[in-house]
Structure 1
């Protein structure tokens, strides 16, 4: 039973490592054109302006 538990732990560790590597490799890239945001309410539009800048 201990061998099976160890194998599952290694699989989980490997899966977490691969997921972390995939997320790190797919980082955000700089865009040449500004991103267009469409908002349904004024509050959401204001939040998008504050976060993304004009």
Structure 2
């Protein structure tokens, strides 16, 4: 859990990660941040792909 304190508000963000593997060795890993209320609030999606 990451605690972020801003000028106008305070929020706690949780990181949701997912991992997908395919039989031929392809791997996709991604994560995105959601606030504690479960609403997407202008956070960035991170994706890594290995072939």
The normalised TM-score by structure 2 is 0.21
Higher relative contact order (CA 8 A, sep 6+): 2
The normalised TM-score by structure 1 is 0.21
In terms of fraction of residues, the more helix-rich structure is 1
